[in-house]
């Protein structure tokens, strides 16, 4: 949490010949946040299985407790939530500390926007540098008031609307977080609230809202966009059981590591393969990866599969801009696959990476440069010139307190000619507790530097 002193943890990944084994990815972080939040505003008790117990999700649980919901861990990954009903939060007695989680901060802002009290929100050093204007602007139209630092940054005060106004809002950029914040605000707003998204983004919020009994519909628009309409002031039903699938963004690290190491054979069990999140796996297949979905099924309304990846020679491709919403968190580790491939991989439409835990586009480019990988970078693109399996390595990567940068370059170190170090791996626990142990179980060599 942001009140604790930050202690950097340097890790070094050393080259290995291959990876092999079966593992399970930790619970999906996006779904874990939403399961806690919707359980907290439902009537009755909701049980959750497979919840990710990383620092980000625990920050969400802590904030919901301060707002009056009961969130209790009853076993590993097993939680019980007793909700307050839509509009039933109470004024918190302390600051809501969202740690490193932009998802939690933005979605919770949507819930707070329609509660007629003032709350205060903060986060860790990385979170306090990230802009919140993209949710402040539409939620202000609904009647909420915000006082934030310059640029709409945390710490921030939120005063919810006495009577919220429904809006129709067209997303200026593809963002599931902004969409979800508006839909959650629309729950406690009379009438119909509409979000128009020009490009489809992850739809976990819509799926879960429907499961809790909200009235929601999706309407295609003539211009190819789609409108998501939510009817306000329902009574959401608790009493259900939510099974959280494995996180495809976390599974991506083991998948890419296996794909770029010849002779590897890795299966990652119980991974969510929702089409709005599976862009990386489609891209890896286009690059020539030997990647198969096994035992495909539906769990808790979400498509799930076991993913088997065997090492193969990858080739560079053009990754279209319209794929970005389905893999926005995976570009750092895709850059690692591109570095190992033969030829150039061109990633387009990636401007959103500049508003993540770090300026991820700049952080990835700097990490590539530190390890001898040629690349070209622009405001909205990254071109990686592959080494055909001969990544020089040997560099020290600055993570900028970003868990995905740390994990991506540790994966690169497994396939490079020389070890690769990251200056601070401590943020990994925010989203993927047990990452080093999981990778070690497959044969990876990652140790303190």
Residue 78: pLDDT band with limits 50, 70, 90: very high
pLDDT of residue 297: 95
Given a cut of 80, whether residue 3 has pLDDT beyond it is no
Given a cut of 90, whether residue 431 has pLDDT beyond it is no
Q: Whose CA is closest to 343, among 278, 389, 303?
A: 389
What average pLDDT does the segment 437-442 reach? 98
Q: For residue 203, how far is the Cα from the chain centroid? A: 13
The 10 Å Cβ neighbour count of residue 128 is 15
Q: What is the pLDDT of residues 304-353, one digit of tens each?
A: 999 999 999 999 999 999 999 899 999 999 999 999 999 999 999 998 88
pLDDT of residue 236: 92
Q: What is the pLDDT of residues 147-178, one digit of tens each?
A: 999 989 999 999 999 999 999 999 998 899 99
Radius of gyration of the chain (CA): 21
Q: Are 38 and 236 in contact (CB under 8 A)?
A: yes
Residue 368: pLDDT band with limits 50, 70, 90: very high
* Dist. CA 200–CA 227, nearest whole Å: 10
CATH number attached to the domain at 29-243: 3.65.10.10
Percent of residues, the chain, with pLDDT higher than 90: 88
Given a cut of 90, whether residue 190 has pLDDT beyond it is yes
pLDDT of residue 352: 83
Among 126-135, 277-286, 383-392, the range scoring the smallest mean pLDDT is 126-135
Q: Which residues of 290-325 are buried (b: 16+ CB within 10 A; e: fewer)?
A: bbeeeeeeebbebbbbbbbbbbbbbbbbebebebbb
Given a cut of 90, whether residue 6 has pLDDT beyond it is no
Given a cut of 60, whether residue 248 has pLDDT beyond it is yes
What average pLDDT does the segment 253-258 reach? 98
**Does the CA dihedral 131-135-138-141 come out positive or negative?**
negative
* Dist. CA 439–CA 257, nearest whole Å: 9
What integer best gives the mean pLDDT of the chain?
94
Q: Are 155 and 96 in contact (CB under 8 A)?
A: no
pLDDT of residue 356: 65
Q: What is the pLDDT of residues 44-66, one digit of tens each?
A: 999 999 999 999 999 999 999 99
pLDDT of residue 18: 97
Whole-angstrom distance between the N-terminal and C-terminal Cα of the chain? 24
3-state secondary structure the chain: CCCCCCCCCCEEEECCCCCEEEEECCECHHHHHHHHHHHHHCECEEEEECCCCCHHHHHHHHHHHHCCCEEEEEECCEEEEECCCCCCCCCCCCCEECCCCHHHHHHHHHHHCCCCCEEEEECCCCHHHCCCHHHHHHHHHCCCEEEEECCCEEEEEEECCCCCCCCEEECCCCCHHHHHHHHHHHHCCCCEEEEEECCCCCCHHHHHHHHCCCCEEEEECCCCCEEEEEECCCCCECCCEEECCECHHHHHHHHHHHHHCCCCEEEEEEEECCCCCCHHHHHHHHCCCEEEEEEEEEECCEEEEEEEEECCCCECCEECHHHHHHCHHHHHHHHHHHHHCECEEEEECCHHHHHCCCCHHHHHHHHHHHCCCCEEECCCEEEEECCCCCCCECCEECCCCCHHHHHHHHHHHHHCCECEEECCCHHHHHCCCCHHHHHHHCCCEEEEC
* Dist. CA 41–CA 238, nearest whole Å: 9
Q: Is 306 a catalytic residue?
A: no
Percent of residues, the chain, with pLDDT higher than 70: 98
pLDDT of residue 389: 96
Q: Whose CA is closest to 407, among 424, 419, 394?
A: 424
Return the CATH number of 11-27+245-448, one of 3.40.50.300, 3.65.10.10, 3.40.50.2300, 3.10.20.600: 3.65.10.10
* Dist. CA 208–CA 302, nearest whole Å: 9
* Dist. CA 379–CA 123, nearest whole Å: 27
* Dist. CA 314–CA 286, nearest whole Å: 9
Given a cut of 50, whether residue 2 has pLDDT beyond it is no
Given a cut of 60, whether residue 408 has pLDDT beyond it is yes
Q: Are 306 and 267 in contact (CB under 8 A)?
A: yes
pLDDT of residue 354: 81
* Of residues 430 and 50, more confidently modeled: 50
- Going by DSSP bridges, is the β-strand pair 344-348/381-385 parallel, antiparallel, or unpaired? antiparallel
**Angle of CA points 33, 36, 38, to nearest 5°:** 105
Same fold, 11-27+245-448 and 29-243: yes
Q: 76: burial class by Cβ within 10 Å (0-12, 13-18, 19+)?
A: exposed
Annotated catalytic residue within 28, 203, 247, 329:
329
* Domain range summary for the chain, segments of one domain joined by +: 11-27+245-448, 29-243
Given a cut of 80, whether residue 4 has pLDDT beyond it is no
Residue 130: pLDDT band with limits 50, 70, 90: confident
Given a cut of 90, whether residue 284 has pLDDT beyond it is yes
């Amino acid at each position: 949490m942001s009140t604790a002193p930050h202690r950097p943890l340097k890790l070094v990944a050393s080259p290995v010949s291959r990876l092999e084994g079966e593992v399970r990815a930790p619970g999906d972080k996006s779904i874990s946040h939403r399961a806690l939040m919707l359980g907290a505003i439902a009537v009755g008790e909701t049980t959750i299985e497979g919840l990710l117990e990383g620092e980000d999700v625990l920050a969400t649980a802590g904030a919901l407790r301060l707002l009056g919901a009961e969130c209790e861990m009853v076993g590993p990954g097993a939680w019980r939530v007793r909700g307050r009903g839509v509009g039933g939060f109470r004024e918190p007695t302390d600051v809501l500390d969202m740690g490193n989680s932009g998802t939690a901060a933005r979605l919770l802002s949507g819930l707070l926007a329609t509660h007629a009290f003032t709350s205060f929100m903060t986060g860790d050093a990385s979170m306090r540098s990230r802009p919140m204007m993209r949710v402040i602007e539409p939620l202000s139209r609904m009647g909420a008031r915000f006082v934030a630092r310059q640029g709409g940054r945390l710490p921030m005060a939120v005063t919810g609307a006495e009577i919220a106004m429904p809006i129709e809002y067209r997303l200026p950029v593809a963002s599931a977080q902004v969409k979800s914040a508006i839909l959650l605000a629309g729950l406690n707003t009379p009438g119909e609230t509409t979000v128009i998204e020009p490009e489809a983004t992850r739809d976990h919020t819509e799926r879960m809202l429907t499961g809790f009994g909200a009235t929601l519909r999706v309407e295609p628009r003539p211009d190819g966009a789609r409108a998501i309409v939510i009817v306000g002031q329902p009574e959401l039903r608790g009493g259900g059981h939510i099974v959280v699938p494995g996180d495809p963004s976390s599974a991506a690290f083991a998948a890419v590591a296996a794909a770029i190491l010849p002779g590897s054979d890795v299966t990652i069990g119980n991974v969510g393969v929702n089409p709005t999140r599976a862009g990386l796996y489609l891209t890896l297949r286009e690059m020539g990866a030997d990647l198969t979905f096994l035992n495909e099924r539906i769990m808790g309304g979400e498509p799930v599969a076991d993913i088997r990846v065997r090492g193969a020679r990858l080739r560079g491709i053009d990754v279209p801009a319209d794929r970005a919403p389905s893999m926005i968190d995976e570009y750092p580790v895709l850059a690692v696959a591109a570095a190992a491939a033969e030829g150039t991989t061109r990633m387009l439409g990636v401007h959103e990476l500049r508003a993540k835990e770090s300026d991820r586009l700049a952080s990835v480019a700097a990490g590539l440069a530190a390890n001898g990988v040629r690349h070209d970078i622009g405001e909205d693109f990254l071109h990686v010139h592959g080494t055909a399996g001969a990544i020089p390595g040997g560099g020290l990567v600055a993570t900028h307190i970003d868990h995905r940068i740390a994990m991506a370059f540790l994966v690169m170190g497994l396939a490079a000619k020389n070890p690769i170090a990251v200056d601070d791996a401590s943020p990994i626990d925010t989203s993927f507790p047990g990452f080093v142990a999981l990778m070690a179980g497959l044969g990876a060599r990652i140790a303190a530097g």
